[in-house]
Amino acid sequence: MSDFDTPGHEDFDNDGLDDHAITADYGDHSTTAVDTDYNGDAEGVYEDDNNDGVQDHLYLDGDGNGTIDSEAFDNNHDGYADTIVSDFNHDGSVDQVSEDTNHDGVVDAVAIDADQDGNLDTYAEDVNHDGVADEMILDRDGDGIADATLTDTDGDGAIDQVVYGDASVSANPYAS
């Protein structure tokens, strides 16, 4: 039985499967399941936590294998995802966290598990919100202490300064 075998919904292409979203209203919140590829199984579930008509959470199975790949949260209820948490390789650990820190609808901070060891080890942030990462922090050993920080101090898009984990060595190899 598919997620979309609900009485009262339409099968527009006559394949025996309902073709559109189903919303369940619980009074104080609602949940909507969406079948984007028309196979009868939901690829996404949207939740409206406060029934204001704005979807506050999205759970997405982007590759259609039945496992949630990403979760998006609209923390301030403005209609834009503020935080997106993803497990792309399905190992049960977070591979990427993206965040819109100034709530303008554009992601400006990202943390990733670049080496797929289960620890977020690379962080990038667009501090001045111009669309280019101004600062990157690398933590290759997963101890929570930055091994290196790369910074674009003048905002031209090129790394100007590298500071190593214990701050004992500060280099400016890219200075122009």
Q: Which tokens is 41 given?
A: 């199984």
User: Is the pTM here over 0.75, yes or no?
Assistant: no
Per-residue pLDDT at 96 exceeds 90: yes
Residue type, 107: V
pLDDT at 141: 80
Share of the chain above pLDDT 90, in %: 16
The mean-pLDDT minimum among 107-116, 134-143, 160-169 falls in: 160-169
pLDDT beyond 50 at 172: no
Instruction: Render the burial of 105-118: b for 16+ CB within 10 Å, e for the rest.
Output: eebbbbbbbeeeee
Nearest residue to 6 (alpha-carbon basis) of 36, 30, 42: 42
More confident residue, 23 or 20: 23
Residue type, 106: V
CB 142 within 8 A of CB 125: no
pLDDT at residue 173 tops 70: no
The residue whose two tokens read 């979203």 is 21
pLDDT at 165 over 80: no
| Residue 167 scores a pLDDT above 90 | no
Q: Average pLDDT in the 104-108 region?
A: 87
| Mean pLDDT value across residues 1-29 | 60
**pLDDT value for 112:** 94
**Per-residue pLDDT, 43:** 78
